[in-house]
Amino acid sequence: MTGTLRVILIVALLFYFIIVFFLLKKRRLALKYSLLWLFMGITMTMLVVFPRLLEIFCRLFGIADTMNGLFTFAIGFILMLLMALTSIVSKQSDRIKELVQESALMEKRVRDLEKEIQK
């Protein structure tokens, strides 16, 4: 990793954190879902600020170029994030299903009661 690249990456990470915190502050991002984003950012920062860590990782896994090591991390995080999103979506759709069923059953009760009152 060249010096120029490290500077660019650090600036990019800074923007990344600003965006995450801005969204958190505006409550457009729930804290429980932001933890993975923050963890991602912190790990990437560590790797850029202390390139030794990245070099050790690359040697352990037999990756020739440190940049590829960084990509490996980035792709790994993206996959984790997508998995988390899919899991959240699945849970949400289950909850929506429950709500839809409840509201339909409730609507029937209301309708039946209205009919009874009108009699």
Partner 1 sequence: MKVLAIIPAYNEEKSILGVIQKLNSDCAEIDYLVVNDCSRDNTLYVLENASVKYVSLPLNLGIGGGIQAGYKFALRNDYDIAVQIDGDGQHDTSFLRTVTKPIESGEADIVIGSRFIDKQGFQSSGMRRIGIRFLSLLIQVCCGIKVHDVTSGFRAVNRKFIEEYAKEYPIDYPEPEAIVKASVQGARILEVPVIMKERENGTSSISAWKSVYYMIKVSLAIILCRLSNSRKEH
Interaction site with partner 1 (CB under 8 A): 96-97, 100-101, 103-105, 107-108
Residue with tokens 């839809």: 100
Closer residue to partner 1, CB minimum distance, 6 or 108: 108
The distance of closest approach from Cβ of residue 98 to partner 1 in the complex, given in angstroms and rounded to an integer, is: 9
Longest dimension (CA), the chain: 83
Closer residue to partner 1, CB minimum distance, 11 or 100: 100
Closer residue to partner 1, CB minimum distance, 28 or 115: 115
Closer residue to partner 1, CB minimum distance, 19 or 99: 99
The distance of closest approach from Cβ of residue 96 to partner 1 in the complex, given in angstroms and rounded to an integer, is: 7
Q: Is 84 exposed, middle or buried (0-12, 13-18, 19+ CB in 10 A)?
A: middle
